[in-house]
Amino acid sequence: MEGATILKVLGGAAVVTTLFAFKKKSDFSKVMEQMTMDIRNIRNLRLKSGRLFLDIDVAFHNPTQYDMTVYTAGMIKVKQIKLFYKNVLIGNALSTAGKDAFELPAKSNYLITGITVELLFLTIIDQFLKGGLDSNVDNYQIHTVVDALGKSWIVEQ
């Protein structure tokens, strides 16, 4: 009879643990779905080896009550950043300055600075000929692919 009781206790604990894990994953999915970001700075436009580059700073915001930390749901890892100007793709990030994995506690922000973006040369020339270059960050958007909770998410500004 003792063996059956132990099995019942272990089975109950497994069910409770599974339900808790599903609840936590649901909570952290809300973080990923509600996370926002914005471009804080665009600078250092340069030409190098026939290619055009610039640096951007991107802030990520967690408006929820849930922590995304190494102790709760794990780190958020940036996989890809695409830069758009008025909804036209103009570049792709080459580097996140070694800051591609981060925690995002509840009601907090995280800033990645110095992200190097290679610009699509012909698109930039076309934009320059049509109206010049624009340094107003409100005219730029970013689409970011991040990994969290074992899943990839697309976060759009």
Nearest partner of 143 among 74, 75, 99, 93, judged by Cα: 93
CATH of the domain at 26: 2.60.40
Average pLDDT of every residue of the chain? 80
Estimate the share of the chain in helix, then strand, then coil, as percent rounded to the nearest 5.
30, 45, 25
- CB-CB contact of 120 with 90 (8 Å): yes
Confidence grade of residue 16 (pLDDT, cut at 50, 70, 90)? very low
Asked if 45 and 56 touch (Cβ cutoff 8 Å), the reply is no
Given a contact cutoff of 8 angstroms between Cβ atoms, the answer to whether 97 and 112 are in contact is yes
Number of structural domains (the chain) is: 1
What is the model's pLDDT at position 151?
A: 80
Reported confidence tier of residue 9, pLDDT bands at 50, 70, 90? low
- Mean pLDDT across 93-98: 77
- Mean pLDDT value across residues 95-102: 77
Query: What does the pLDDT average to over 31-38?
Result: 86
Domain that holds residue 23: 2-156
pTM exceeds 0.85: no
